Amino acid sequence: MSVKLQTPIDYLKGVGPNRADLLRKELGIHTYQDLINLFPNRYIDRTQYYKINQLQKSNADVQVIGKIIEFKEVAQKQGKRLVATFVDETGTMELVWFRGQKWIREGLQLNKPYVAFGKTNWFSGKFSMAHPDMELLEEHEKNLRGAMQPIYPSTEKLSNRGISNRVIIKIMQQLFLETGGKFAETLPDSLRSELKLMNKSSALFNVHFPKSQALLSKAQFRLKFEELFYIQLQLIIKNLMHKSKIKGFPFKHVGHYFNTFFKTHLPFELTNAQKRVLKEIRADLGSHAQMNRLLQGDVGSGKTIVAFMSILMALDNGFQACLMAPTEILSVQHYNGLLELCNKLNISISLLTGSTKTSIRKQIHETLENGELQVLIGTHALLENKVKFQNLGLAVIDEQHRFGVEQRSKLWKKGQTSPPQSSYGEQAKTIRKKFMTARPSTYKLLMELQAENKKHSTQAEAILWECLRNKKLDHKFRRQHIIDEFIVDFINLEKNLIIEVDGGHHNTIEQKEADNLRTQILNEIGFSVIRFTNEQIIGDIDNVLRYIANRLESLPSGEVGGATIPPHILVMTATPIPRTLAMSVYGDLDISVIDELPPGRQAIKTVHRYDKNRLNVFRFIRDEIAKGRQIYIVYPLIQESENMDYKDLMDGYESISRDFPMPDYQISIVHGKMKPADKDFEMQRFIKGETQIMVATTVIEVGVNVPNASVMIIESAERFGLSQLHQLRGRVGRGAEQSYCILMTGHKLSSDSKTRLETMVKTSDGFEIAEVDLRLRGPGDIMGTQQSGILTLKIADIIKDKALLQLARHHAKTILKRDATLSSPENGVILNTYKQMGKYKNIWNYIS
């Protein structure tokens, strides 16, 4: 390749510093590589030209050859617009610019033939074209033109500053000229041959300058496959590395707690899906790797009982467990549900939330740290620094997508910590005592040599430290670090690797024996030790660094000194995740799915009703309350909004109170702005059956379990997303009686709203609903900003390219199964590309 693709975009002919700055800020284009990965949004046919008298009133993209004969500025409410009179031999039209008039006026010439391209408008008896793409006819004919012209992503600022689509095409052509159109291949020949994929250079040329639709399709298929393939490869490697390098406590026993609960206290027979998932979790917990598993299950599928039985496995092995939920209501719900089960098994359990009293909080902190407290349920309060477990073995995170990455990582660090770095505890003492007793004179000399070494620092040590300190090996080292009673020259705690420099004066047989004894002791404590002489380091530092790099590569991660072995992690969600999203966002997790509801549950009947049917709906509510049932009525807003005419909670509460007056009816009200104590009081009234109707916001979306509640009414249902509607519906149908969900709306509904409502009425399958939701909202909206970065794809679309995603994952898994380290010659190109992706994060910024 003649030009490095990491060259800053400033150096491309025709760009320059000002344009480069705009491209960086507006489109994230920093290098040649970024530019080549700016793929067109669409393509248009630029082979056809229209006469002005041939134009149709269709607002279509057209190109017209003509001349500008006049410019004028026309005043408008805000500022002015620039209008040019554009003519050909058949007629006259106007070209209009609302922004950037000064630059445009200076850049265009009167009475010169131009090609004007853009959308036409018909207004006041004449055609006009707003912000057309203008090119001198002479230039237009010279430039490389295919039958299909690319239209690239742009922004208003780029257009205002004169970086039009034509300019981007021009600099893209320049990039191909400078590189000779030659780009390094990123997929092996065997894979390209099997899938009949275009080579990389041809694919890039044909996606930017396609000669035909057939070539464009082949180019897009090749580049989409590549993008999805490397995402899947990264996620699968991350998963494999996690399993091989992140240590976990092996839970070897299934004992008293689990067996007693299973035989005596299990409230119902487990479904086959629950049994399968428990088997998967048990296999994870029994290995020496940290479990990192996502448990998906529809509303009411029995995830909580599976989580509880996983907690019992931790307790059976002498560990503590915790369950963290995103809201106080949900954590209280979990606590109340598990308290009864724990009491039967004589397990100590506590609840910790933001509103827990100081005296209780203090007691929780003490009993947690001394090991008396076995299970802790709570909200974000679990993440506070004061919350210290004696030996946390399992952390369950419910509705995990509501927690940020940083919050989840704090929970990781709550695991059991090894003894502090200055002392490695009883194990180290026992190891030293063994060697002191067996070889007392050598051990004594060893301690004398250490004292001597501390006084001297050699040239070789200084040379090596300079390299290690500047991270020439991409790993952090410490110098003069204390390991038990020993001071070591250099140490990398991530890999437990020690580097010793002999210093040139350990020459006698006794001294060498002492050095060997020191290495043996450190090995038994859990460290790998490399020794170098002064001569080796001074004579060939590059070879020494290569040797250290190879040792680092071969060692698993996991600090011995002061390290935390993370607890096993089980994350749960009742929001079904479409398979394509699961493969993309959670592709590095192991996924378990409970796809079966417990027997005896009746399907919830869902209907859509308009506001005009309200009297009939209220009559139905009275009938259900007369049968002894309870009702939820959910509103989207707490206070009236000027922008949206949706019914708000307080207005609704007053209306319901009029139609269901006291003392015949009692009504609870719950919303997010209430004090926790007030909210809990109202919730408890409803749970105990003291109130028949609960008026609420989506605060009850998760975590409320009232088997007697049989009707869910969702006001302004068009305001809610499918996922929320499905979650809210899941609050009913928890008892043996028939339950109902009524979706109330006004008459004016958008196309998407109609689709959502029709989907809810048609199916109760959460995964089918999630697929529709994905289609309507797109992956970024569903995942939220924290987790949608991986889905910022350059050319692929995980909704439209679902089959291609599965194909890419299949081939990534197959290749890694045959060659986990990608060390075979045929996979060299994959390994090289994978390394480059890590080296230059901006090559494909869709890699998380």
pLDDT in tens, 780-789: 544 443 344 4
Give residues with Cβ within 8 angstroms of 184, minimum separation 6. 1, 200
pLDDT in tens, 270-298: 999 999 999 999 999 988 788 888 888 87
> Smallest Cα–Cα separation from 797: which of 231, 294, 273, 399?
231
Report how far residue 517's alpha carbon sits from residue 485's, in angstroms, rounded to the nearest whole number: 14
Tens of pLDDT, residue by residue over 630-684, are 999 998 865 555 444 445 778 888 889 999 998 899 999 888 778 878 888 888 8
Token digits of residue 147: 């039958």
What is the percent of the chain where pLDDT is above 70?
Answer: 86
Rounded mean pLDDT, 352-374: 91
Report, as an integer, the average pLDDT of 261-278: 91
Q: How confident is the model at residue 453 (pLDDT cuts 50, 70, 90)?
A: low
CB 316 within 8 A of CB 613: no
- Confirm if 464 and 540 have CB atoms less than 8 A apart: no
State the burial class of residue 375 (Cβ atoms within 10 Å of its Cβ: 0-12, 13-18, 19+).
buried
- pLDDT mean over 67-92: 91
Task: State the angle between helix axes of 766-777 and 751-762 in degrees (0 to 180), rounded to the nearest 10.
Answer: 170
Q: Is the pLDDT of residue 455 over 80?
A: no
Which of 183-187, 491-495, 597-601 is predicted with the least confidence, judged by mean pLDDT? 597-601
**Domains of the chain listed by start with CATH number:** 256-286+302-418+566-573 (3.40.50.300), 425-554 (3.40.960.10), 605-763 (3.40.50.300)
Written as six digits, the tokens of 200 are: 């990389």
Query: 514 phi and psi, to 5 degrees?
Result: -65, -40
pTM: 0.58
Run of H or E residues at 476: none
DSSP-derived secondary structure letter, 735: S
- Residue 844 — very low, low, confident or very high, per pLDDT cuts 50/70/90? very low
Q: What is the reported pLDDT for 835?
A: 83
Q: Would you state the pLDDT for residue 437?
A: 79
Q: What is the pLDDT of residue 694?
A: 92
What whole-number distance in Å separates Cα of residue 265 and Cα of residue 268? 9
What is d(CA 148, CA 652) in angstroms, rounded to the nearest whole number?
A: 56
Q: Give residue 416's pLDDT.
A: 54
| Confidence tier at 606 by pLDDT (50, 70, 90) | very high
pLDDT of residue 842: 40
Query: Does residue 805 have a pLDDT over 90?
Result: no
Instruction: Kindly tell me if the per-residue pLDDT of 549 is higher than 90.
Output: no
Nearest to 198 by CA among 223, 229, 231, 228: 223
> Which residue matches tokens 């290995």?
287
Residues 6+ apart with CB under 8 A from 643: none
Looking at residue 794, what is its pLDDT?
A: 84
Nearest to 309 by CA among 339, 282, 329, 290: 282
> Percent of the chain, pLDDT > 90?
31
CA distance readout (Å), 141 to 113, 144, 305: 12, 8, 72
> What pLDDT does residue 146 have?
58
Do residues 95 and 116 lie in contact, with contact meaning Cβ atoms separated by under 8 Å? yes
Q: Is the pLDDT of residue 309 over 60?
A: yes
Are 366 and 374 in contact by the 8 Å Cβ rule? The answer is: no
Q: What is the mean pLDDT of residues 318-338?
A: 88
Highest mean pLDDT out of 472-476, 484-488, 843-847: 472-476
The pLDDT value given to residue 253: 82
Contact 118, 129 (CB under 8 A): yes
